[in-house]
Structure 1
Amino acid sequence: MARRRITQETFDAAVRENMEEFEMDPDEALREAVEQFESQGVDLSCIVKAVPAVSTDDKQEEQTHEVLQALDSLRIGQDSAGVKDVTADIKRFTEHCSLGFAQRYLAAQKDAYPVILSYCKKSMEEQESVLTALSALAALTDGQPDLLDAEGQQFLLNVLNKYKADSSVTRVAICVMRHCCLKHEQNRQDLVKGGVLPLLTGAITQHSGCAELVKEGSAALRVMTFDDDVRVTFGHAHEHAKMIVLEHNGLKVLIKAAQAHLDNTSVLSELCATLSRLAVRNEFCQDICDLGGLKLMMTLLADSYETADLVRQVLSAIRAIAGNDDVKDAVVNAGGVQLIVIAMNRHMGNSAVCEQGCACLSVLALRKPNNCKVIMENGGALAAVQAMKAHSDSVNVQKQACMLMRNLVARMRNLSQPILDMGAEALINQALQTHQDCGDLGKAALRDLGCKVELRELWTGKHGSLTR
């Protein structure tokens, strides 16, 4: 059931009443208001939980929060002032929008977007000014993709075209675009039609030495492959991924960028995450391998296995490209199984690494008896069992471990007893009892391991003849 919501004005009035009627000090008044509304089941996620500044003139109360004071100053100079004249106010607005979603939401409710966009367009010819205005737009649109309109889309495309050589402006413009495409399918489609994909891959290539821009560009490409807008029945995620690869050489661009930042784990994590989103066709998986992507991933697993987030993203990428049967063999032949098991054992306390590790081994084992043998010999099944014990509360770890065990024995029945000897049956039964979502995978694993399992018929037809 949806929780109740209130306006910022209602919340501010309650705080002021606590101060004036009950003579509370500001901090106590604020705390009391928060507790009062939360006890009534009110959602305060979009409310600025701060004491409004006392106004010295006749301004309305809603203008007393600092983010709105800055916005009011910008609105006053909107028609006459240039960006340089109001730089301090824009930076103050940006700073307060960056404090949290509630500040950004309040500003948007008071029509901040057209004000900030007008300064963005006004600043187009001056690098420092456009950077200042774009930063404000980036802060405002974070979590609010619906703000972007056709005018804003065209402005972003114009900036990316005009300032191709400037890494700072390009990076912030891409950041705005990423914010506005997250959970917004129409913005994605409109910007792709407007030609944003070659601008993104071109920016990564041209500024391959700029770590922050490479990260931002890679993240923006990845967002273009999302299908996360619940308002849309069918998105263009798959089509966008194909366009990035086939029309804009995205795989080569990303792998070359990774090779230029082998000492930067955050950049490498970002690039691996994007590569995994682009491995949507069998031939793309092979292309990643042929372009040196698999060798890169093996190197990262071997050299950077201490870094949990990078390990997780590398495993996710290997899982994606191993959908290709030839790549499965290439991973195993390159020593991938040993490296995956080492990474899992090193980060056994990290559920995300364990989940991706089990999923990786599961994909490598699928339809590949020889790979199953290698996985068993290198402790893959044992690592999965340990992961199930360590993360009994994680449904995803349990599901992936069950899938791995099933794939290991599906064509290699002789592996069933060694896996059972590790205590797999009790762990799978525990997962079935704890997590409803494990039902199908858990029962399939028990069945293929030769264990007793209750398979319930969901529907059975009645005997009898069919009549016309």
Structure 2
Amino acid sequence: MSSKHISQETFDAAVRENIEEFEMGPEEAVREAMEQFESQGVDLSNIVKTVPKVSANGPQEPEHDVLQALNALREAMTHSSQGQKVLMPLAQFRDQCQQHKPNRFLAAQKGAYPVLLAAWQLATADDPALLLQVLDALSALTDGQPDLLDAHGLQLLVDTLAQGSGTPDLACAALRLVRHVCLKHEQNRQALVKAGVLPLLTGAITQHGHCADVVREACGALRIMTFDDDIRVPFGQAHTHAKMIVQEHQGLKLLVKAAQAFPDNPGVLSEVCSTLSRLAVRNEFCQEIVDLGGLDVLVALLDSDTSHQDLVKQVLSALRAIAGNDDVKDAIVRAGGAESIVATMTRHLASAQVCEQSCAALCALALRKPENSRVIVEGGGALATLEAMKAHPKEVGVQKQACMLIRNLVARAQVYSQPILDLGAEALILQARAAHRDCEDVAKAALRDLGCRVELCELWTGQKGGLVL
């Protein structure tokens, strides 16, 4: 990965030099500058790769479109205290930020966040149109730049959510902003939770439960709170936040009800299932999902023969998560879940992601459960798994999960070893082992439990040799 960086001004100067001194056209000048810097190992991911233009009403010095939009917004804020005069500049700035990440990065460098914060303070509950535009613009600006949020902005965000009487559009914009400022930012997550954001997120589902967009955005915001994706922090609070959502704010009950309220909306159902997966972090939570009727919803979705592969993937992920509870494993099998998963994998055999999640879910059901292994094998699960391996030989996720599933199927039910071998399992496992380094250990385990010959070498015994200083 490139480690060198340059400023936007440096890149623009190189482009201008190509145009003025080497008489290149704009596109050729940009392309030549890109090639020049990339050959030097410069990372251009945050650089706007267009030629600056002179604004019709702005300064004579050429500027990029996003900076022209920012200047227009700044000008409107300076000369008007009326929200209506700021609406159009806000919308134009938002549109520029939504186009490309470099636009957002450059705008942030040039002080866009304080300008939007001032516009946020200008907006009131009596001017929902302005508030909506501000939230949309901030959401666009902070996408991929969560560090921009400061203590003042955090409090304004919590206050905006706490008003609770806004329109669904306002709720969506605020929830989207929560998601953007919390992604890969543990400090913002913890600060928002401390400020009381969790009941506001679940409250949005309660208040706007009829609105699919709000439910979808609220699920995304809740799920972000359970992430542990900030590499700058050694230990996050993902597990604690998940427990708080479930135990203190009835998160599972709200989500299962939301799934039942939107049976024909794949977008909402996908978000709900994905969020359930993130909250199923304890045995009792897995059981609670079953008790609330969530298992019936998940199995019914698999049986619905839906063509929405993302929804199918999230349903399988949710089943895999709740199968972490041994009692729930049995409940899933009794509900016909194993057969439904096999049928789903067969139906979506062309999708590597569905095959991977199907194998992972079946793997969880078969772990330490020989009776469940019987149901899976007799239901065609082993055959479907091997077909998935054949269909996706280059997908390491499919190969790895398939090897783990085969191992779990026979580990405590050796009677199925020969039937699975007769289907050609050994050759496929050896192929996976040879093609993917990550499959080495799981492939050996599968071959060993199938009764195949496999060399299990000790990497180091601690003998024959001493340390040389």
TM-score grouping bracket, smaller chain normalisation: over 0.9
Contact kept, 8 Å, 2:359 with 2:405, in 1: the verdict is yes
Following the alignment from structure 2 to structure 1, what is the Cα–Cα distance between the partners of residues 188 and 278? 19
Following the alignment from structure 1 to structure 2, what is the Cα–Cα distance between the partners of residues 216 and 174? 6
1:16 corresponding residue in structure 2: 16
1:340-351 equivalences in 2 (<5 Å): 340-351=341-352
1:466 corresponding residue in structure 2: none
1:201 corresponding residue in structure 2: 202
> How far apart are residue 56 of structure 1 and its match?
6.9
C-alpha distance 174-43 of structure 1, shift in aligned 2 (>3 A): same
1:392-407 equivalences in 2 (<5 Å): 392-407=393-408
State the secondary structure of the residue aligned to 1:4. Answer: coil
Give the TM-score normalised by the residue count of structure 1.
0.96
1:459 corresponding residue in structure 2: 460
Contact kept, 8 Å, 2:77 with 2:86, in 1: the verdict is no
2:467 corresponding residue in structure 1: none
1:354 corresponding residue in structure 2: 355
> How far apart are residue 38 of structure 1 and its match?
2.6
1:435 corresponding residue in structure 2: 436
Q: Cα RMSD over matched residues?
A: 1.7
Contact kept, 8 Å, 2:277 with 2:318, in 1: the verdict is yes
**What per-residue deviation string (whole Å, max 9, x for no partner) do you get for residues 34-79 of structure 1?**
2332333322111111111035799485x71111111112223434
Following the alignment from structure 1 to structure 2, what is the Cα–Cα distance between the partners of residues 177 and 383? 41
Contact kept, 8 Å, 2:389 with 2:428, in 1: the verdict is yes
1:52-201 equivalences in 2 (<5 Å): 52-54=52-54, 59=59, 61=61, 64-82=63-81, 83-125=83-125, 126-201=127-202
Contact kept, 8 Å, 1:205 with 1:257, in 2: the verdict is no
Contact kept, 8 Å, 2:279 with 2:285, in 1: the verdict is yes
1:207-356 equivalences in 2 (<5 Å): 207-356=208-357
**What per-residue deviation string (whole Å, max 9, x for no partner) do you get for residues 158-215 of structure 1?**
1011244421111101111110000000100000011111101010111111111110
Note the residue ranges of structure 1 that are not aligned, 5 or more in a row.
464-468
**What per-residue deviation string (whole Å, max 9, x for no partner) do you get for residues 246-289 of structure 1?**
00000010111111111110110011000000000001001001
> How far apart are residue 14 of structure 1 and its match?
1.7
Following the alignment from structure 2 to structure 1, what is the Cα–Cα distance between the partners of residues 5 and 90? 29
**What per-residue deviation string (whole Å, max 9, x for no partner) do you get for residues 384-429 of structure 1?**
1111111121111111111101110111001001111111111111
Q: Which amino acid aligns with 1:111?
A: G
Following the alignment from structure 1 to structure 2, what is the Cα–Cα distance between the partners of residues 366 and 198? 36
Contact kept, 8 Å, 2:186 with 2:228, in 1: the verdict is yes
Following the alignment from structure 1 to structure 2, what is the Cα–Cα distance between the partners of residues 244 and 216? 16
Contact kept, 8 Å, 1:164 with 1:170, in 2: the verdict is no
Following the alignment from structure 2 to structure 1, what is the Cα–Cα distance between the partners of residues 306 and 282? 28
1:362-401 equivalences in 2 (<5 Å): 362-401=363-402
State the secondary structure of the residue aligned to 2:405. Answer: helix
Q: Bigger shift: 410-419 or 303-312?
A: 303-312
Following the alignment from structure 2 to structure 1, what is the Cα–Cα distance between the partners of residues 4 and 237? 34
Work out the percentage of aligned pairs sharing the same amino acid.
61
State the secondary structure of the residue aligned to 1:201. Answer: helix
Following the alignment from structure 1 to structure 2, what is the Cα–Cα distance between the partners of residues 247 and 390? 45
Contact kept, 8 Å, 1:304 with 1:310, in 2: the verdict is no
Contact kept, 8 Å, 1:197 with 1:221, in 2: the verdict is yes
State the secondary structure of the residue aligned to 2:31. Answer: helix
Q: Bigger shift: 409-418 or 124-133?
A: 124-133
State the secondary structure of the residue aligned to 2:281. Answer: coil
Following the alignment from structure 1 to structure 2, what is the Cα–Cα distance between the partners of residues 102 and 246? 41
State the secondary structure of the residue aligned to 2:184. Answer: coil
State the secondary structure of the residue aligned to 1:78. Answer: helix
Q: Which amino acid aligns with 2:430?
A: N
Following the alignment from structure 1 to structure 2, what is the Cα–Cα distance between the partners of residues 57 and 165? 36
Note the residue ranges of structure 2 that are not aligned, 5 or more in a row.
465-469
Contact kept, 8 Å, 1:181 with 1:223, in 2: the verdict is yes
**What per-residue deviation string (whole Å, max 9, x for no partner) do you get for residues 325-360 of structure 1?**
111111111111111111111111111111100001
Give the TM-score normalised by the residue count of structure 2.
0.95
> How far apart are residue 305 of structure 1 and its match?
3.4
Q: Which amino acid aligns with 1:50?
A: T
2:4 corresponding residue in structure 1: 4
> How far apart are residue 137 of structure 1 and its match?
0.4
Following the alignment from structure 2 to structure 1, what is the Cα–Cα distance between the partners of residues 307 and 78? 55
Following the alignment from structure 2 to structure 1, what is the Cα–Cα distance between the partners of residues 114 and 324? 46
Q: Which amino acid aligns with 1:423?
A: G
1:420 corresponding residue in structure 2: 421
Contact kept, 8 Å, 1:124 with 1:159, in 2: the verdict is no
C-alpha distance 133-345 of structure 1, shift in aligned 2 (>3 A): same
> How far apart are residue 128 of structure 1 and its match?
1.0
Contact kept, 8 Å, 1:117 with 1:152, in 2: the verdict is yes
Following the alignment from structure 1 to structure 2, what is the Cα–Cα distance between the partners of residues 150 and 316? 36
C-alpha distance 36-287 of structure 1, shift in aligned 2 (>3 A): same
2:46 corresponding residue in structure 1: 46
> How far apart are residue 124 of structure 1 and its match?
2.5
C-alpha distance 456-58 of structure 1, shift in aligned 2 (>3 A): same
1:37 corresponding residue in structure 2: 37
> How far apart are residue 2 of structure 1 and its match?
3.5
Following the alignment from structure 2 to structure 1, what is the Cα–Cα distance between the partners of residues 14 and 160? 44
Q: Bigger shift: 238-247 or 393-402?
A: 393-402
